[in-house]
Amino acid sequence: MNVIVDVCLVPMGVGVSVSTYVAACHEVLHEAGLEAKLHAYGTNIEGEWDEVMAAIKKCHEKVHELGAPRITTTIKLGTRNDREQTMADKVESVQAKLTKGREKIIPFGPEKRC
Amino acid sequence: MNVIVDVCLVPMGVGVSVSTYVAACHEVLHEAGLEAKLHAYGTNIEGEWDEVMAAIKKCHEKVHELGAPRITTTIKLGTRNDREQTMADKVESVQAKLTKGREKIIPFGPEKRC
Amino acid sequence: MNVIVDVCLVPMGVGVSVSTYVAACHEVLHEAGLEAKLHAYGTNIEGEWDEVMAAIKKCHEKVHELGAPRITTTIKLGTRNDREQTMADKVESVQAKLTKGREKIIPFGPEKRC
Amino acid sequence: MNVIVDVCLVPMGVGVSVSTYVAACHEVLHEAGLEAKLHAYGTNIEGEWDEVMAAIKKCHEKVHELGAPRITTTIKLGTRNDREQTMADKVESVQAKLTKGREKIIPFGPEKRC
């Protein structure tokens, strides 16, 4: 079962600045070979359910190791069995329907990769 | 009070394809003059609390008007009073700490705009 | 427009224990005259959109006043225009369909109030 | 690693009424031997990470089997390594700090079970 996920991990008890922990999670996702796309309030991931979930668990373990005594994470998670759909497909299907306001919208598809 | 928001609106009772409704919300956000950045599982918005919340309410009204009898929305919402921070700042502060895996991460900062 | 909300406010930069801040939010919701039901990972609220949202904004203001420099909040938010539905209705419509496992499920309807 | 979870599964493409699917998920959680507490916008679960996540995966599989072509789920998920904490502990620690408004707040602790 393929899954598209948006995950936002918040370490607690380590002060207000948490980017070090978020960066560590990106290393974990990268080592897991997962597609991970950072945005301003989380990270989009796609892949096989068990692989994605194992990676999110490793993120919790890593962030605890780095010193966070408590973590609260928000996950949005989508599955479908009617057809295949990637993260890029989702963004493109919205953009194809936009008639105005395009200059304010920053697409998140593969063509924007660094 | 400035706020950074991630919003994901899900119309119910209108079938599996919801991109038309998401595109309509982007028009609403654009008309409200808000910075809105689409990703694969939602939209990042930043602005003054009341303006952002009024726009999200208008999105619900618009999506009901378009025929969705029911809507469930997930919002993540951040405020801070220690310093100013934009959506781009949040992404950049994570990226500055990445030592590897950069090619897998798609920044979401202003330099990537179309 | 009536709304059913689940809100989970997380103060950052104030250590791991956050129940004082959550309790302060409940006072805010109570003073606003809103129905608020605490669970283990948030609070259910129902009411008119503007009243509920104004109360959530006051919660952020209150928690900043109490010393939290940063707050991240997760909100789930439902509206429908096909029929009226309360928080209790939602729980009851699930429970009516349960054929087993009842002893493990703690209903959240009005009949359970202290 | 123990985890406290709040999960809200939304089947898409099956109309506005989703309580049948939520009830089916409760059967899945019950069969998995997990503590599951229904509220008006989701279900609280506690247990060992792998068991809870396996059960949530089974919920997705079950809801697809029942005919939903698409599912979007929101999960909040907390871990801590500084001390043990149950769902009931979380609610009680907030309630102990409330000085007013008690009559509006419906505790969610074990003493309220049917």
Contact yes or no for A28/A62 (Cβ under 8 A)? yes
Span C8-61, pLDDT tens digits? 999 999 999 999 999 999 999 999 999 899 999 999 999 999 999 999 999 999
What is the nearest CA distance from B47 to chain D, expressed in angstroms?
Answer: 25
Taking all residues of chain D, what is their mean pLDDT, rounded to a whole number?
A: 88
Q: Does B84 touch chain C (CB under 8 A)?
A: no
Residue A62 with chain D: CB contacts under 8 Å: none
- As a whole-number percent, the residues of chain A with pLDDT over 90 amount to 82
Q: Does A76 touch chain C (CB under 8 A)?
A: no
Q: How far is CA C31 from CA C21, D88, D102, in A?
A: 15, 25, 12
Please give the model's pTM, rounded to 2 decimal places: 0.88
Short-list D50, D46, D17, D22, CA closest to D34: D46
Confidence class of residue C100 from pLDDT cuts 50, 70 and 90?
A: low
d(CA C84, CA B12): 15
Query: What are the φ and ψ backbone dihedral angles of B26, each rounded to 5 degrees?
Result: -65, -35
Q: Does A54 touch chain D (CB under 8 A)?
A: no
Name subunits touching C (3+ CB pairs < 8 A). A, B, D
What is the nearest CA distance from D41 to chain A, expressed in angstroms?
Answer: 15
Please report, to the nearest 10 degrees, the dihedral formed by the alpha carbons of residues D72, B80, C7, B65 taken in order. -60
B30 versus B114: the higher-pLDDT residue is B30
Spell out the residues 6+ positions from residue D102 whose beta carbon is closer than 8 angstroms to its own. C114, D95
Using the predicted structure, report yes or no on whether residue B108 has a pLDDT greater than 60.
no
Residue A13 with chain C: CB contacts under 8 Å: 15-16
Compute the average pLDDT of residues C58-85: 97
What is the nearest CA distance from A23 to chain B, expressed in angstroms?
Answer: 5
Q: How far is CA C43 from CA B81, B92, C94, C113, D12, in A?
A: 24, 33, 19, 15, 25
Compute the average pLDDT of residues B81-88: 93
Cβ–Cβ contacts within 10 Å for residue A42, how many?
24
Residue C13 with chain B: CB contacts under 8 Å: 82
Residue A10 with chain C: CB contacts under 8 Å: 10, 12, 72
**Which one of B38, B40, B95 has the shortest CB-CB distance to A106?**
B38
Report the pLDDT value the prediction gives residue B100, as an integer from 0 to 100: 55
A104 versus D61: the higher-pLDDT residue is D61
Q: Which of B20, B72, B75 to mutate to test the interface with D (most CBs of D within 10 A)?
A: B72
Confidence class of residue B107 from pLDDT cuts 50, 70 and 90?
A: very low
Compute the average pLDDT of residues A8-19: 95
Tokens for B93, please give them. Answer: 């502060």
Lowest mean pLDDT of A93-97, B56-60, C25-29, name the range.
A93-97
Confidence class of residue B98 from pLDDT cuts 50, 70 and 90?
A: confident
Name subunits touching D (3+ CB pairs < 8 A). A, B, C
**Which one of C8, C16, C70 has the shortest CB-CB distance to A70?**
C16
Short-list C78, D38, B83, CA closest to A17: B83
Partners of residue B8 on adjacent β-strands: B74
**Which one of B8, B12, B69 has the shortest CB-CB distance to D12?**
B12
Compute the average pLDDT of residues A47-54: 98
Q: Which of A10, A12, A22 to mutate to test the interface with C (most CBs of C within 10 A)?
A: A12
